Amino acid sequence: MTDSQASSSEGPLTQSFDQLDGRIQHWLWNSGWTELRDAQEQAIPVLLKGTQDVIIAASTASGKTEAAFLPILTRLSQKGNEGSLAIYISPLKALINDQWRRLQELTEVVDLQVVPWHGDIPKTTKSKFMKHPRGVLLITPESLEAMLMHHGPGLKGLFKGLQYLVVDELHAFMGTERGKQLQSLLHRIEIAVGRVVPRVGLSATLGDMDGAIQFLRRGGSARLIVSKSQGQELKVQVRGIREPAQPEKGPEGEIIAVGDEVIAQHLFQILRGANHLVFPNSRSQVEFFADRLRRMSEDSGYPNEFWPHHGNLAKDIREETEAALKQKERPATAICTSTLELGIDIGSVKSVVQIGPPPSVASLRQRLGRSGRRKGEPAILRAYCQECQLDENAHLSDLLREGLVQTVAMIELLVEGWYEPIRAEGIHGSTFVQQVLSSLYQNGGMLIGPLWNLHCATGAFNAVTKDHFTALLRNLGSEEIIFQDPTGLLMLAPKGERITEHYTFYAAFSSEEEFRIVTAGKSLGSMPISQPLQEGSYLIFAGRRWMVKSVSMEDLVIEVVPAVAGSVPHLLGPSGAWIHRRVRLKMREILASSEPVPFLDEEGQRLLQEARDNFRRLELGGLRFIKLGRSTHILHWSGDAEANTLALWLVAKGLKAAHEGLSIAVMEVEPSEVEERVASFESDPGMSGEALAATVANKASEKWDYLLPEGLLNANYASMFLRLPDGLW
C-alpha cells in the first residue's frame, strides 16, 4: 500500500534546497535558515512532481508546514502555472489564522496570494479571491462545504487550476463525523473538476500508517514521509494523591475532591514563572483549577499567570488565553481541554500537566509534543492521580488503583512508541444524511443512480448498503425533506431547503449534548454520556450507582432510581474517552509485575504496591470472575467497545450488569452463573451488533441521526460503538 518506506535524509541538504524557486531560496537564507529539516528534505522532490498523494508525519514544531509549502509554492509559481491553486484544509479557524501569518511573507516573495476563509473573514476578501482563485486558500471543512453547495456547476471553473489538496492535523479528522465529511468533500471536488488532485496529509500523531493512507484516499496509495526523531529527552513524574474513603459533598450533593485542592496548591508552587499547559479531564475541572489558581495568585499578591481554555468559552476569552501564551513579557499557563492539543502556535511550553488518566496514548503524545520544542530542552510531563483510601467496601477499581495504573500503562506505551490506531470503520450515517442533502442542493437535484455512485459506490460511504440507501431515501421522503419528480429526479422539498439554507447545516457534527439526570422529580445534575444506555442498565453519578428507568432523547433527560447493590468506583463516571484493549492488557502486565516504576513519587509507589498486592491476593492473574460484596465482577481486559457490547448483552438477558472500567459488575448473581452466561455469549444465535444496538436508548447521538430509519440507525450504532469480541480474553 505504500510506495516507499520512511527514511532519513542522506547526502547534502542542498540537493533539495537547489530545487526550490530562487526567490524562496533567498528568503530562507535571509530568514536565517542554515539547513532544511529532515521532513523538508524528503518532501521537496516528491511534492515538486505533484503526481501522487503524500503523508508527512513528524513531531510538533518539526517544520511540517514548510515541508509541504516550500515545494508547493515553488510549483505554483513556475512559468505556465499561472492561476494554479492549492487548498489547505484545517480543523480550526485559529490554526488557519496562524498559518496565514506564517505563509503571508513567503507567498508574497513568489507573487502569490494566501487567503484565509472562514466566518470571520470580510466578504471583500472572499469576493476578490472568487474573481481570481489562485495561490493558497486556507479553509475549514464547513466553509468548503458551503463553497461546494453554493457554486454548483461553477466548481469546475473555480477549481480549474487546483494542483494540491492539503489536510492539516490529519489525525484530528480520522474516525470522526467531521473526517467523514472531509473525505466526501475531497471526493466531490475531484468529481467536479473531472480529475485526480494530489492530496497531502500533515500530522504529528499517526498510529496506523496504512489506515491514514486509506483515510486520505479510499483504495489509494501514498508516499510516506516520516521524520526521524531527534531522540528528545523525556522527563516524567506521576504523583499519587490519596482521597478520603468517603468523598466530601457540596451543598448540591456534588463530590468535592480533596485531591483537587492538593493539586492546585502544588501547581501554584511549581508552575509560576514559565509557560505550561494543564489538561484536566473535564470542562468543570478546567474552570475549578483556573479559578483556584487565579485566586491563589491574587491572595499572594502575584500577577495572574493562569488562564482557562475550552470549547464552551466565548471566542474572546479563548483568544485572550492564546495571546497570553504567545507574548514573552510575562509567563502564562493555560488550564485547557483538548482545544490546545492541535497545532495553534502558542510557542514552546516548559511542561505539560495531566490531571487524571489521559484520554488516550495518542492524545498524551500530542499534548506532550507542546513541551521541549526548543533545541536541547527536554519534554516534561507531570501527572497527578487521585486514589481513595481503601475500606472493607472498596470497589474492585479502587483495589486495583485503576486511574493510577491506567496512567502508568499509557506512559509506558508512549515510551514504547505505541498509540491507538484510528477507528476508521463505521457507517457514519449522520454525515451520510448531510452529504446527500448537500449534493442535492449543489446540483439542483440528482437521479438515484448517480447519487448512489457519488457517495457509496465510489465515495466515502462504501459501508452503506443499497437496502440502507433506499430506506434512507424513503425516510427522507416521508419526512418531506426530499421528493422525486416525474422524471425520477430527487430534489429538496421546502423543508429540506430550509434545513440546507440555514448556516448551521455546513457542520457535520454537533456539540456534545449533556443529559439531565433526574430521580423522583429531583435533578441530580447534568453531564455528557457516551456509554450505551438501556432501560435496566446502570450508570454512576454523584458518587453512587443508579439504575436507568427511562431515557428521553427529545428532552435529553435520563430518569434513574437508586441501585442498592454494591459499592461504586471512586469518582468514576459514565463519560470520557474509550479505552483501547492494548491499554488494558498493559495494565494487567503492570499489575502482575514486581518491577518498580521509576517515574512514580513515593505516594504513587505505595498506591501501586497496594494495587499489586490486591491483584495477587485476589488471584486475578488467573481468575476472570470474582465475587466482591453483592456483585460478581468480570475481569474482561478488553477495550470499552468490547466491554460495552458484553454488558449490553447481559442486560438484554435479564441480568443487572454495568461496565465499570476494568470490570463488568453483575449484581446479585453468583460467579458460576455469570461464567456460564458469558460462555454462551458468542454462540448466541440471536446475538448481533444490530440486535444489541436496537436495545440502546441513546443511539441517536450525532447531528442527523434522527433522520435515519431504524434499521440504518441500529447498523450505524453497531458499526461505530460496538465490537463483538473475538475470544473475550
Q: How far apart are CA 275 and CA 288, in angstroms?
A: 19
Contact (Cβ atoms closer than 8 angstroms) between residue 399 and residue 571 = no
| Span 676-692, average pLDDT | 84
* 239 and 337 within one domain: yes
Q: Which of 438, 428, 429 is nearest to 146 (CA)?
A: 438
In the prediction, which pLDDT does 574 show?
Answer: 43
CA dihedral 671, 676, 682, 683 (to 10 degrees): -170
Mean pLDDT over 473-499 rounds to: 97
Question: Are the C-beta atoms of 110 and 84 separated by less than 8 Å?
Answer: no
Confidence of residue 438 (pLDDT cuts 50, 70, 90): very high
Among 299, 410, 284, smallest CA distance to 337 is for 284
User: pLDDT at position 541, please?
Assistant: 80
CA distance 539 to 548: 7
Question: What mean pLDDT do residues 681-695 have?
Answer: 85
Query: For residue 384, what are the domain limits?
Result: 234-389
State residue 259's pLDDT score: 87
pTM to 2 decimal places:
0.89
Final residue belonging to a domain, choices 186, 203, 226: 226
Most confident of the ranges 143-157, 238-252, 253-267: 143-157
> How does DSSP assign 697-720, residue by residue?
SS---STTGGGS-HHHHHHHHHHH
pLDDT (average), residues 141-170 = 94
Question: Residue 729: is its pLDDT beyond 70?
Answer: no
**Does 240 share its domain with 216?**
no
pLDDT of residue 693: 94
The pLDDT score that the predictor gives to residue 8 is 38
Q: Are 87 and 119 in a shared domain?
A: yes
- The three-state DSSP-derived secondary structure of 333-360 is EEEECHHHCCCCCCCCECEEEEECCCCC
Same domain assignment for residues 348 and 217: no
Judgement on whether residues 213 and 273 belong to the same structural domain of the protein:
no
Q: Which residue, among 682, 686, 712, 688, has the nearest Cα to 700 in the 3D structure?
A: 712
Same domain membership, residue 259 and residue 201: no
Higher-scoring residue by pLDDT: 66, 1: 66
What is the reported pLDDT for 318? 78
Residue type, 326: K
199 inside domain: yes
Half-sphere exposure for 557 (CA within 13 Å, toward CB): 12
Q: 611-633 burial, b for 16+ CB within 10 Å, e for fewer?
A: bbebbeebebeeebbbebbebbb
In sequence order, the β-bridge partners of residue 438 are none
Is the CB of residue 441 less than 8 Å from the CB of residue 494? no
Q: b/e string for 276-285 if b means 16 or more Cβ within 10 A? A: bbbbbbbbeb
Q: Is residue 211, in this structure, part of any structural domain at all?
A: yes
Distance CA 336, CA 280 (A): 7
Asked if residue 442 belongs to a domain, the reply is no
List the grid coordinates of 96: 488557519
Query: Which of 331-340, 573-582, 679-688 shows the lowest mean pLDDT across its residues?
Result: 573-582
Q: What is the pLDDT of residues 612-659, one digit of tens each?
A: 999 999 999 888 999 998 899 999 999 999 999 999 999 988 899 999
C-alpha cell at 667: 449484581
268: domain CATH number is: 3.40.50.300
Residues 218 and 238 in one domain: no
State mean pLDDT over 91-118: 90
pLDDT band at 61; cut points 50, 70, 90: low
Same domain, 268 and 192: no
Residues 45, 177, single domain; the answer is: yes
Domain boundary residue, one of 389, 421, 442: 389
Q: How confident is the model at residue 3 (pLDDT cuts 50, 70, 90)?
A: very low
Q: How far is CA 699 from CA 45, 60, 207, 286, 511, in A?
A: 48, 36, 28, 28, 16
In a domain, 348, yes or no: yes
- pLDDT exceeds cutoff 60 at 726: no
pLDDT band at 342 (very low <50, low <70, confident <90, very high): low
Does residue 202 sit within a domain? yes
CA distances from 472 to 145, 437, 453, 505 (A): 21, 11, 15, 18
β strands within 488-590, DSSP E: 490-492, 515-519, 522-527, 538-541, 544-552, 557-562
pLDDT of res. 5? 37
CA dist 528 and 670 (Å) reads 33
Residue 363 included in any domain: yes
Please report whether residue 98 resides in a domain. Answer: yes
Is 150 inside a domain boundary? yes
Is residue 249 pLDDT above 80, yes or no?
Answer: no
Residues 357, 258 share a domain? yes
Does one domain contain both 134 and 249?
no
Most confident of 212-221, 242-251, 356-365, 471-480: 471-480
- Boundary (domain end) residue, out of 357, 372, 389: 389
If asked whether residues 295 and 156 sit together in one domain, one would say no
pLDDT over 90 at 465, yes or no: yes
- Total domains in the chain come to 2
Residues constituting the chain: 729
pLDDT of residue 529: 80
Q: How confident is the model at residue 283 (pLDDT cuts 50, 70, 90)?
A: confident
91-95, 404-408, 554-558 — most confident range: 404-408
Angle between helices 429-443 and 494-501 (to 10 degrees): 100
Select the more confidently predicted residue: 684 or 245: 684
Q: What is the pLDDT of residues 528-549, one digit of tens each?
A: 787 888 888 888 886 778 889 9
d(CA 344, CA 100): 12
Please, are residues 615 and 592 in contact by the beta-carbon 8 Å criterion?
yes
Q: Among all chains, which residue has been given the C-alpha cell 456539540?
A: 511
- Minimum mean pLDDT range among 290-294, 421-425, 571-575: 571-575
Identify the weakest region by mean pLDDT among 141-155, 445-459, 537-551, 571-585: 571-585
